[in-house]
């Protein structure tokens, strides 16, 4: 095979790319393009894999889907079916969870600037916990809780000062971060004191998230180790006993053949080994371990189908092949220089005979999906399948140039199911108020 396939992806009898037992050309024809296609079996496999690893290790755990990666009613329902918890970071994501009837007690609320209205909504829905990010939020949440005569379980987010090896823009674990309380500069301790002193809070533990698209276990182990050692200190000095240690997400996925992520279970095993070591060495009760995978649950399960349109050849320099989407459905290449791989859906095994640049249709020179893609000579009307677009694609989709957002379809066992409709031109002007 010319490409390494994900999940149930294969080349079918007629030589077309097939996902979940469904021919991708048929999907493109039925639903139009651009189209996000999700391999449901692969999502389930990943969800079960994380859960099983904890079970095998005999560790109490929660696996929370970091839903900013792909937030829709259908995926929330699927994650609920799989017994996962859910991270939300906004009122909009929380509302989506409510629409999906996601059990409130398994929802965790993140974010560095939750508004009063969002916190009220979270309390009213009865969510499981709020991850407190900063001093302002301690005051704000305490105020809202007092007003409502309610209590809330909270985690305190700390930044352990670990730099994960990944793109700078998506680094969140180092000291110079907008997220969380510094572990080493005294802020985390001050936050714990204030939260413990307030009756409205039930402080259940700590949270940290060291970054994204991480391929090594080193960063996770270091972070877990540092926090656990600090927990020993705070047990003795503050009488603080963390029931929960949430170590975030960020487990890497394979966007291209250059990415070599470990199996998700490896990260979990490495983390647990370190936490156990410190716990046992210091007679500290083993905390419940929570993790928050986003892209590793849904990234590789997603494939975007586009229709190829115009072609522009700049002699000696570049061959541009444009598709009917771009930064409107996948802004990551423009934002992070993210890399992707792709094939022509009708003949994925054919040998490439040129290197092309896949351009989007938006009015931005930076609207490129792939800069250097080896591909057989392609023609207008053919379907291009871009791999590993399941995370931060649809969730970052936008209406730049008033391009309607693409539809989303789930495929499994030879069946396809539309889970997000394509936006219509009518939808685009729905909120516009005419002057006359
Ligand atoms: C973004 C984020 C995640 C998920 O990151 P992935 O790279 O998608 O796994 C988990 N936890 C927190 C706090 C995050 O901000």
pLDDT tens sequence across 240-288: 999 999 999 999 999 999 999 999 889 999 999 999 999 999 999 999 9
How far is residue 203's CA from residue 420's CA, in Å, rounded to a whole number? 38
Give the ligand 1 atom nearest the CA of 391: 8
Contact 107, 97 (CB under 8 A): yes
**363 is a catalytic site residue:** yes
Cα-flanking dihedrals φ and ψ of residue 245, to 5°?
A: -120, 115
Identify the residue whose C-alpha is closest to ligand 1 atom 10: 249
Give the CA dihedral 295, 301, 302, 307, nearest 10 degrees. Answer: 150
Q: Is the pLDDT score of 169 beyond 80?
A: no
Q: State if residue 209 touches ligand 1 by the CB under 6 angstroms criterion.
A: yes
How far is residue 85's CA from residue 63's CA, in Å, rounded to a whole number? 6
Give the ligand 1 atom nearest the CA of 172: 15
* 404 CA to centre of ligand 1 in angstroms: 27
pLDDT band at residue 174 using 50, 70 and 90 as cut-offs: low
Domain with CATH 3.20.20.10 in the chain: 40-295
Mutate-to-test residue for ligand 1 from 75, 87, 131, 214, highest number of ligand atoms within 8 A of CB: 87
| 81-88 mean pLDDT | 98
Q: State if residue 133 touches ligand 1 by the CB under 6 angstroms criterion.
A: no
* 164 CA to centre of ligand 1 in angstroms: 13
| 295-301 mean pLDDT | 98
Ramachandran area for residue 345 (φ above 0: left; ψ -120 to 50: alpha; else beta) = alpha
| 182-188 mean pLDDT | 92
Binding residues: 250, 292-295, 332, 336, 364, 392
Give the ligand 1 atom nearest the CA of 294: 8
Q: Please report the pLDDT score of residue 245 as a whole number.
A: 98
What Å distances lie between residue 370 and 253, 310, 332, CA to CA? 17, 15, 10
Give the ligand 1 atom nearest the CA of 296: 9
Q: State if residue 7 touches ligand 1 by the CB under 6 angstroms criterion.
A: no
Ramachandran area for residue 83 (φ above 0: left; ψ -120 to 50: alpha; else beta) = left
pLDDT band at residue 308 using 50, 70 and 90 as cut-offs: very high
Higher-pLDDT residue of 396, 211:
396
Six token digits for residue 56: 């095998």
Beta bridge partners of 314: 318
The three-state DSSP-derived secondary structure of the chain is: CCCCCCCCCEECCCCCEEECCEEHHHHHHHHCCCEEEEEHHHHHHHHHHHHHHHHHHCCCEEEEEEHHHCCCHHHHHHHHHCCCEEEECCHHHHHHHHHCCCCHHHEEECCCCCCHHHHHHHHHHCCCEEEECCHHHHHHHHHHHHHHCCCEEEEEEEECCCCCCCCHHHCCCCCCCCCCEECCCCHHHHHHHHHHCCCCEEEEEEECCCCCCECCCHHHHHHHHHHHHHHHHHHHHHCCCCCEEECCCCECCCCCCCCCCCCHHHHHHHHHHHHHHHHHHCCCCCCEEEECCCHHHHCCCEEEEEEEEEEEEECCCEEEEEECCCCCCCCHHHHHCCCCCEEECCCCCCCCCEEEEEECCCCCCCCEEEEEEEECCCCCCCEEEEECCCCCCHHHCCCHHHCCCCEEEEEECCEEEEEECCCCHHHHHCCCCCCC
| 6-26 mean pLDDT | 97
Q: Catalytic pick from 129, 208, 362, 363? A: 363
Give the closest residue to 43 by CA, choosing from 273, 300, 348, 370. Answer: 300
How far is residue 291's CA from residue 247's CA, in Å, rounded to a whole number? 5
Q: Is the pLDDT score of 168 beyond 80?
A: no
Mutate-to-test residue for ligand 1 from 69, 179, 246, highest number of ligand atoms within 8 A of CB: 69
* 251 CA to centre of ligand 1 in angstroms: 9
Q: State if residue 173 touches ligand 1 by the CB under 6 angstroms criterion.
A: no
User: Which CATH code for domain 10-32+301-429?
Assistant: 2.40.37.10
Q: State if residue 332 touches ligand 1 by the CB under 6 angstroms criterion.
A: no
Q: Please report the pLDDT score of residue 180 as a whole number.
A: 94
Q: Is the pLDDT score of 177 beyond 90?
A: no
Give the ligand 1 atom nearest the CA of 392: 8
How far is residue 308's CA from residue 26's CA, in Å, rounded to a whole number? 16
User: Which CATH code for domain 40-295?
Assistant: 3.20.20.10
Binding residues for pyridoxal 5'-phosphate: 250, 292-295, 392
Contact 330, 318 (CB under 8 A): no
* 248 CA to centre of ligand 1 in angstroms: 6
Contact 6, 45 (CB under 8 A): no
* 69 CA to centre of ligand 1 in angstroms: 8
How far is residue 396's CA from residue 357's CA, in Å, rounded to a whole number? 22
Q: Please report the pLDDT score of residue 3 as a whole number.
A: 64
Identify the residue whose C-alpha is closest to ligand 1 atom 8: 294
């Amino acid at each position: 095979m010319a490409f390494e396939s994900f999940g149930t992806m294969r080349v079918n009898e007629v030589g077309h790319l097939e996902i979940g037992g469904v021919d991708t050309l048929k999907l493109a024809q039925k639903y139009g393009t651009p189209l996000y296609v999700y391999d449901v079996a692969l999502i389930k496999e990943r969800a079960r894999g994380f859960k099983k690893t904890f079970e095998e290790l005999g560790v109490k755990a929660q696996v929370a889907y970091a839903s900013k990666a792909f937030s829709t009613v259908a995926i929330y329902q699927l994650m609920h079916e799989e017994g996962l918890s859910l991270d939300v970071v906004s009122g909009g994501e929380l509302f989506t969870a409510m629409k999906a009837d996601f059990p409130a007690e398994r929802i965790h609320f993140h974010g560095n600037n939750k508004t009063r209205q969002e916190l009220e909504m979270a309390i009213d829905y009865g969510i499981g916990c709020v991850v407190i990010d900063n001093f302002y939020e301690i005051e704000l949440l305490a105020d809202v809780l007092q007003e409502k005569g309610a209590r809330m379980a909270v985690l305190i987010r700390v930044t352990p000062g670990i730099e994960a090896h990944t793109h700078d823009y998506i680094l969140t674990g180092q000291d110079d971060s907008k997220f969380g309380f510094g572990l080493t500069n005294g802020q985390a301790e001050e936050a714990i004191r204030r939260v413990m002193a307030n009756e409205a809070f039930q402080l259940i533990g700590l949270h940290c998230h060291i970054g994204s698209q991480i391929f090594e276990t080193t960063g996770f182990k270091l972070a877990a180790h540092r926090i656990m050692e600090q927990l020993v200190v705070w047990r003795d000095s503050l009488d603080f006993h963390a029931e929960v240690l949430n170590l975030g997400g960020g487990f890497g996925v394979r966007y291209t053949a250059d990415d070599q992520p470990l199996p998700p279970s490896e990260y979990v095993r490495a983390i647990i080994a370190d936490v156990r070591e410190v716990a046992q060495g210091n007679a500290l009760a083993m905390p419940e371990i929570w993790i928050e995978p986003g892209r590793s649950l849904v990234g590789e399960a997603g494939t975007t189908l586009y229709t190829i349109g115009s072609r522009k050849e700049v002699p000696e320099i570049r061959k541009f092949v444009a598709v009917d989407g771009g930064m409107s459905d996948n802004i990551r290449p423009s934002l992070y220089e993210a890399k992707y791989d792709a094939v022509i859906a009708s003949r994925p095994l054919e040998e490439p005979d040129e290197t092309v640049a896949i351009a989007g249709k938006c009015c931005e020179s930076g609207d490129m999906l792939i800069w250097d893609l080896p591909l057989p000579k392609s023609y207008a009307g053919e379907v291009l399948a871009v791999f590993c677009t399941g995370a931060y694609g649809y969730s970052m989709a936008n209406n730049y140039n008033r391009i309607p957002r693409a539809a989303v379809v789930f495929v499994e066992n030879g069946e396809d199911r539309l889970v997000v409709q394509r936006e219509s031109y009518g939808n685009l002007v729905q909120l516009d108020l005419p002057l006359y």
